[in-house]
């Protein structure tokens, strides 16, 4: 199986030994504590699950700026996005101390992790702007990722952490949430040597389904990891439980057994386009996948990124050998009326726009909200029914 990024084996920061974890949880109740941001909590979950191997905790200011500007930490580790614990007020925190990190997303704010605070640093407005511009490619406050980043504060708490639980992800999504450790085990148990990863924050329509099928066939892959984001999204995005049901139904009906592994990970969407695509590649390598599908407007939002910027960054900014995982570049896929199947549009130079079944997301949402199923060329009827039920429930 492919090696993890920057290490011989995964380095999950979750305290797996039950006795040690319980003892740490008890002692954590007597530590100074802070309620972290949702983004910092998601970073803790990813660190806990081994997704962010080989990191041992939150980055300091020097590493954060180096990663933002150069895609490398100061000690030479390739990494695409700073992993931060930004706070507004650190008056009760002292460098060299141990603190409890409390979960903002769970009632009662239980302790999520224990942190050894190595540094407390204040980033200047210019340094914050540098990070935002490099990560998101824009300073526009209407960009959901930029807005979330700015809202966290400008004080960085850095140092190693020990993770006590996986926030709400394990309890809310017990059949779907998996750590990188668990995914590696499942891939090994399935006997897959070559696995392709498909990232999604949306339900999968026919085009997505066929894209997974095309990638597996083109690469000779043993299977596909459908890996959905389970964390915070922007308003209007479909909730994770609805997506999960729709995707599982599609896999159950339209794919052979043991060819698809449907899982999810606990992270908040950054909407950082190209940079987030590279982060997706890093932690899919940590999951044991040999390939990642990168499609049109991967991890994008609005018109902030070019349609294929998330592909070209791997050629323009990711140095040779920085990652072992390989990228499967996908074009926009759509149903061809001429060929009666879903194809990549780049493979049909003889087609006009009218030769494809093309529906905007807005149009699809309008149809579903009215109880009208999109055409079967666009969405499987079983998937459309789940989505119609959801949209109509939001209007009642």
CA within 13 Å, CB half, 370: 9
Token pair belonging to 145: 């990722």
- The length of the chain in residues reads 396
Question: How many whole angstroms from its chain centre is CA 207?
Answer: 20
Q: Who contacts 73 (Cβ-Cβ below 8 Å, separation ≥6)? A: 59, 63, 66, 67, 79
Question: Are the C-beta atoms of residues 58 and 157 closer than 8 Å to each other?
Answer: yes
Question: Are the C-beta atoms of residues 231 and 361 closer than 8 Å to each other?
Answer: no
Token pair belonging to 3: 């090696």
**Cα–Cα distances in Å, from 356 out to 211, 336, 353, 395?**
16, 5, 6, 31
Question: Are the C-beta atoms of residues 198 and 327 closer than 8 Å to each other?
Answer: no
Please identify every residue annotated as catalytic.
Answer: 201-202
């Amino acid at each position: 199986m492919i090696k993890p990024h920057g290490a011989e084996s995964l380095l999950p920061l979750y305290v797996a030994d039950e006795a040690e974890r319980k003892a740490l949880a008890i002692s954590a109740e007597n530590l100074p504590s802070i309620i972290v941001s949702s983004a910092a909590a998601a970073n803790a979950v990813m660190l806990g699950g081994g997704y962010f191997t080989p990191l041992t905790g939150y980055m300091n200011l020097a590493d954060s700026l180096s990663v933002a500007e150069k895609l490398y930490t100061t000690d030479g580790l390739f990494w695409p996005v700073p992993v931060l614990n930004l706070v507004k007020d650190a008056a009760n925190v002292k460098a060299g101390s141990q603190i409890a990190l409390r979960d903002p997303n769970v009632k009662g704010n239980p302790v999520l992790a224990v942190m050894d605070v190595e540094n407390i640093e204040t980033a200047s407005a210019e340094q914050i702007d540098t990070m935002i511009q490099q990560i998101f490619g824009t300073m526009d406050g209407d960009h959901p990722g930029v807005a979330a980043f700015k809202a966290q504060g400008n004080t960085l708490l850095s140092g190693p952490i020990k993770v006590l639980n996986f926030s709400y992800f394990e309890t809310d999504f017990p059949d779907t949430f998996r750590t990188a450790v668990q995914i590696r085990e499942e891939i090994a148990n399935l006997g897959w040597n070559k696995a392709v990863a498909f990232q999604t924050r949306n339900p999968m329509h026919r085009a997505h389904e066929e894209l997974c099928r095309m990638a597996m066939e083109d690469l000779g892959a043993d299977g596909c990891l459908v890996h959905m984001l389970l964390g915070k999204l922007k308003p209007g995005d479909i909730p994770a439980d609805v997506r999960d049901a729709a995707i599982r139904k599609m896999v159950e009906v339209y794919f052979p057994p043991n060819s698809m592994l449907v899982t999810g990970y606990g992270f908040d969407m950054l909407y950082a386009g190209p940079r987030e695509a590279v982060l997706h590649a890093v932690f899919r390598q940590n999951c044991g996948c040999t390939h990642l599908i990168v499609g049109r407007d991967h991890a994008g939002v609005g018109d902030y990124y070019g349609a294929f910027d998330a592909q070209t960054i791997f050629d323009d900014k990711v140095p040779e050998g920085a990652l072992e995982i390989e990228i499967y570049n996908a074009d926009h896929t759509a149903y061809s009326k001429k060929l009666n199947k879903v194809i990549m549009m780049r493979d049909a130079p003889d087609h006009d726009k009218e030769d494809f079944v093309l529906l905007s997301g807005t149009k699809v949402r309008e149809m579903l909200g009215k109880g009208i199923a999109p055409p079967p060329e666009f969405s499987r009827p079983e998937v459309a029914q789940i989505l119609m039920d959801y949209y109509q429930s939001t209007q009642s």
